[in-house]
Protein backbone atom coordinates (compact mmCIF):
# COMPACT_ATOMS: atom_id res chain seq x y z
CA UNK A 1 0.00 0.00 0.00
CA UNK A 2 2.87 2.37 0.89
CA UNK A 3 4.68 1.58 -2.39
CA UNK A 4 1.55 2.39 -4.38
CA UNK A 5 1.17 5.66 -2.50
CA UNK A 6 4.79 6.61 -3.18
CA UNK A 7 4.36 5.74 -6.87
CA UNK A 8 1.24 7.88 -7.07
CA UNK A 9 3.07 10.79 -5.44
CA UNK A 10 5.96 10.46 -7.90
CA UNK A 11 3.61 10.43 -10.90
CA UNK A 12 1.70 13.43 -9.51
CA UNK A 13 4.95 15.34 -8.93
CA UNK A 14 6.20 14.64 -12.48
CA UNK A 15 2.85 15.71 -13.96
CA UNK A 16 2.95 18.92 -11.92
CA UNK A 17 6.49 19.69 -13.13
CA UNK A 18 5.48 19.03 -16.77
CA UNK A 19 2.43 21.32 -16.52
CA UNK A 20 4.48 24.07 -14.87
CA UNK A 21 7.18 23.82 -17.56
CA UNK A 22 4.57 23.97 -20.31
CA UNK A 23 3.01 27.07 -18.74
CA UNK A 24 6.43 28.74 -18.57
CA UNK A 25 6.99 28.07 -22.27
CA UNK A 26 3.58 29.47 -23.16
CA UNK A 27 4.20 32.53 -21.00
CA UNK A 28 7.48 33.13 -22.80
CA UNK A 29 5.77 32.79 -26.17
CA UNK A 30 3.19 35.45 -25.28
CA UNK A 31 5.74 38.08 -24.26
CA UNK A 32 5.35 41.19 -26.42
CA UNK A 33 7.93 40.86 -29.16
CA UNK A 34 8.12 43.85 -31.51
CA UNK A 35 7.28 43.24 -35.14
CA UNK A 36 10.19 43.85 -37.52
CA UNK A 37 10.20 46.82 -39.88
CA UNK A 38 10.67 45.95 -43.54
CA UNK A 39 11.76 48.33 -46.29
CA UNK A 40 12.12 47.65 -50.01
CA UNK A 41 14.79 49.73 -51.73
CA UNK A 42 14.66 50.11 -55.50
CA UNK A 43 16.82 51.74 -58.17
CA UNK A 44 17.22 55.54 -58.23
CA UNK A 45 14.61 55.76 -61.00
CA UNK A 46 11.83 53.38 -61.92
CA UNK A 47 12.76 50.99 -64.77
CA UNK A 48 11.15 51.55 -68.13
CA UNK A 49 9.14 48.75 -69.72
CA UNK A 50 11.44 45.77 -70.54
CA UNK A 51 14.21 47.17 -68.34
CA UNK A 52 15.59 45.40 -65.23
CA UNK A 53 15.96 47.08 -61.86
CA UNK A 54 17.75 45.86 -58.74
CA UNK A 55 15.69 45.69 -55.56
CA UNK A 56 16.79 44.90 -52.02
CA UNK A 57 14.96 44.33 -48.77
CA UNK A 58 16.11 45.57 -45.36
CA UNK A 59 14.65 43.91 -42.25
CA UNK A 60 15.00 45.65 -38.90
CA UNK A 61 14.38 42.79 -36.43
CA UNK A 62 14.39 45.07 -33.36
CA UNK A 63 17.26 42.98 -31.93
CA UNK A 64 15.11 39.83 -31.90
CA UNK A 65 16.62 37.15 -34.14
CA UNK A 66 14.33 34.98 -36.25
CA UNK A 67 15.24 32.86 -39.22
CA UNK A 68 13.56 34.35 -42.26
CA UNK A 69 13.01 33.51 -45.91
CA UNK A 70 12.03 35.74 -48.82
CA UNK A 71 9.66 35.47 -51.77
CA UNK A 72 9.73 38.30 -54.31
CA UNK A 73 6.81 39.05 -56.62
CA UNK A 74 5.84 41.83 -59.00
CA UNK A 75 2.69 43.08 -60.66
CA UNK A 76 3.46 43.47 -64.37
CA UNK A 77 7.02 42.34 -63.68
CA UNK A 78 9.25 39.28 -63.85
CA UNK A 79 11.82 38.09 -61.31
CA UNK A 80 14.94 37.43 -63.37
CA UNK A 81 17.42 36.84 -60.56
CA UNK A 82 17.83 36.67 -56.78
CA UNK A 83 14.55 34.99 -55.89
CA UNK A 84 14.71 33.83 -52.26
CA UNK A 85 17.43 36.30 -51.30
CA UNK A 86 17.47 39.86 -49.98
CA UNK A 87 18.50 41.20 -53.39
CA UNK A 88 16.55 40.62 -56.61
CA UNK A 89 16.68 41.70 -60.24
CA UNK A 90 13.19 42.42 -61.51
CA UNK A 91 12.14 43.21 -65.09
CA UNK A 92 9.27 45.57 -65.73
CA UNK A 93 6.93 44.10 -68.34
CA UNK A 94 4.04 46.58 -68.39
CA UNK A 95 2.71 49.91 -67.13
CA UNK A 96 1.23 49.02 -63.73
CA UNK A 97 4.53 47.87 -62.23
CA UNK A 98 4.72 47.20 -58.47
CA UNK A 99 7.29 45.17 -56.50
CA UNK A 100 6.33 43.16 -53.41
CA UNK A 101 7.97 40.72 -51.04
CA UNK A 102 6.76 38.16 -48.50
CA UNK A 103 9.02 37.68 -45.51
CA UNK A 104 8.38 34.37 -43.76
CA UNK A 105 9.47 33.62 -40.20
CA UNK A 106 7.86 36.44 -38.25
CA UNK A 107 5.45 35.86 -35.38
CA UNK A 108 1.88 35.17 -36.59
CA UNK A 109 0.59 38.58 -35.45
CA UNK A 110 3.19 40.43 -37.56
CA UNK A 111 2.67 41.55 -41.15
CA UNK A 112 4.46 39.40 -43.73
CA UNK A 113 3.63 41.07 -47.07
CA UNK A 114 5.22 44.35 -48.06
CA UNK A 115 5.20 46.59 -51.13
CA UNK A 116 7.67 49.07 -52.51
CA UNK A 117 6.85 52.54 -51.24
CA UNK A 118 6.51 55.19 -53.90
CA UNK A 119 6.25 58.94 -53.55
CA UNK A 120 2.73 60.31 -53.81
CA UNK A 121 2.77 62.42 -56.97
CA UNK A 122 -0.92 63.31 -56.79
CA UNK A 123 -1.37 67.11 -56.94
CA UNK A 124 -2.61 68.23 -53.49
CA UNK A 125 -6.19 69.49 -53.60
CA UNK A 126 -8.62 70.63 -50.93
CA UNK A 127 -12.31 71.26 -51.56
CA UNK A 128 -14.58 73.13 -49.16
CA UNK A 129 -17.87 71.29 -49.56
CA UNK A 130 -20.01 73.32 -47.14
CA UNK A 131 -19.85 75.70 -44.18
CA UNK A 132 -22.27 76.16 -41.30
CA UNK A 133 -22.00 79.28 -39.12
CA UNK A 134 -23.32 79.14 -35.57
CA UNK A 135 -25.50 76.32 -34.21
CA UNK A 136 -26.81 73.70 -36.62
CA UNK A 137 -30.38 74.46 -37.65
CA UNK A 138 -33.00 72.70 -39.75
CA UNK A 139 -31.89 74.78 -42.73
CA UNK A 140 -28.44 73.16 -42.59
CA UNK A 141 -29.68 69.60 -43.01
CA UNK A 142 -29.24 69.63 -46.80
CA UNK A 143 -25.58 70.65 -46.38
CA UNK A 144 -24.93 67.84 -43.91
CA UNK A 145 -26.80 65.27 -46.00
CA UNK A 146 -24.77 66.27 -49.05
CA UNK A 147 -21.56 65.73 -47.07
CA UNK A 148 -22.66 62.30 -45.86
CA UNK A 149 -23.55 61.31 -49.43
CA UNK A 150 -20.15 62.54 -50.61
CA UNK A 151 -18.35 60.20 -48.18
CA UNK A 152 -20.06 57.25 -49.83
CA UNK A 153 -18.99 58.09 -53.37
CA UNK A 154 -15.43 59.48 -53.08
CA UNK A 155 -13.82 56.69 -51.08
CA UNK A 156 -10.29 57.42 -52.33
CA UNK A 157 -10.19 60.89 -50.77
CA UNK A 158 -10.02 62.12 -47.19
CA UNK A 159 -12.85 63.94 -45.42
CA UNK A 160 -12.55 66.51 -42.68
CA UNK A 161 -14.92 68.18 -40.27
CA UNK A 162 -13.33 71.36 -38.93
CA UNK A 163 -15.09 72.71 -35.86
CA UNK A 164 -14.29 76.35 -35.15
CA UNK A 165 -15.10 77.58 -31.68
CA UNK A 166 -14.51 80.79 -29.79
CA UNK A 167 -11.96 80.53 -26.99
CA UNK A 168 -14.50 81.22 -24.23
CA UNK A 169 -16.66 78.31 -25.45
CA UNK A 170 -13.91 75.85 -26.39
CA UNK A 171 -15.08 73.30 -23.84
CA UNK A 172 -18.22 72.82 -25.96
CA UNK A 173 -16.31 71.29 -28.87
CA UNK A 174 -16.96 67.69 -27.82
CA UNK A 175 -20.67 68.43 -27.37
CA UNK A 176 -20.87 69.92 -30.88
CA UNK A 177 -18.95 66.94 -32.30
CA UNK A 178 -21.34 64.46 -30.71
CA UNK A 179 -24.38 66.42 -31.92
CA UNK A 180 -22.98 66.33 -35.44
CA UNK A 181 -22.43 62.56 -35.25
CA UNK A 182 -26.08 62.20 -34.23
CA UNK A 183 -27.13 64.18 -37.31
CA UNK A 184 -24.88 62.00 -39.51
CA UNK A 185 -26.64 58.95 -38.11
CA UNK A 186 -30.01 60.36 -39.14
CA UNK A 187 -28.83 60.42 -42.76
CA UNK A 188 -27.57 56.83 -42.78
CA UNK A 189 -24.07 57.39 -41.38
CA UNK A 190 -20.76 58.11 -43.05
CA UNK A 191 -19.56 55.87 -45.91
CA UNK A 192 -18.14 52.57 -44.66
CA UNK A 193 -14.68 53.07 -46.23
CA UNK A 194 -14.50 56.83 -45.76
CA UNK A 195 -11.48 58.34 -44.00
CA UNK A 196 -12.99 61.00 -41.77
CA UNK A 197 -11.13 63.26 -39.34
CA UNK A 198 -12.64 65.68 -36.83
CA UNK A 199 -10.49 68.71 -35.96
CA UNK A 200 -11.24 71.60 -33.62
CA UNK A 201 -9.62 75.03 -33.86
CA UNK A 202 -9.97 78.30 -32.01
CA UNK A 203 -11.82 80.89 -34.11
CA UNK A 204 -13.48 84.28 -33.90
CA UNK A 205 -16.89 82.75 -34.57
CA UNK A 206 -18.49 79.33 -34.21
CA UNK A 207 -18.59 77.39 -37.45
CA UNK A 208 -18.37 73.90 -38.94
CA UNK A 209 -16.63 73.30 -42.25
CA UNK A 210 -16.88 70.14 -44.34
CA UNK A 211 -13.84 69.39 -46.50
CA UNK A 212 -12.71 66.79 -49.01
CA UNK A 213 -8.98 66.55 -49.75
CA UNK A 214 -6.43 64.35 -51.42
CA UNK A 215 -4.47 62.13 -49.03
CA UNK A 216 -1.37 64.33 -49.21
CA UNK A 217 -2.87 67.56 -47.88
CA UNK A 218 -5.33 69.02 -45.37
CA UNK A 219 -7.72 71.96 -45.05
CA UNK A 220 -5.90 75.34 -45.23
CA UNK A 221 -6.95 76.34 -41.69
CA UNK A 222 -4.87 73.45 -40.27
CA UNK A 223 -1.71 74.50 -42.08
CA UNK A 224 -1.46 77.81 -40.23
The pTM assigned to this predicted structure is 0.50
Q: Cα–Cα distance between 200 and 173 in angstroms, integer?
A: 7
Residues 6 or more apart whose CB falls under 8 angstroms from that of 193 comprise 155
Domains of the chain as residue ranges with CATH: 37-115 (2.60.40), 126-223 (3.30.1330.60)
Give the pLDDT of the chain (224 residues) as one tens digit per residue: 555 555 555 554 555 444 454 454 444 445 567 889 999 999 988 899 999 999 999 999 888 888 899 999 999 999 999 999 999 999 999 988 999 999 999 888 888 999 998 766 678 899 999 999 888 777 888 888 898 888 888 877 899 999 988 876 767 778 888 888 888 877 777 777 778 898 988 888 889 999 999 888 899 988 76
User: Residues 58, 122, 195, 100: is their CA dihedral positive or negative?
Assistant: negative
Sign of CA dihedral 124, 127, 132, 136: negative
Task: List phi, psi (to 5°) of 29.
Answer: -70, -20
Amino acid sequence: MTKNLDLFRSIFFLALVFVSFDQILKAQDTKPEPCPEVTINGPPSEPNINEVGNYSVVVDTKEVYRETSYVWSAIDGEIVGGQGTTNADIKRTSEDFLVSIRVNGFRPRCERDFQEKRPDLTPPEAFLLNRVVGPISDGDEDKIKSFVDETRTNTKQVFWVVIGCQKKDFDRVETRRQSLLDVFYNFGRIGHDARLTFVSIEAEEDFIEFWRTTANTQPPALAK
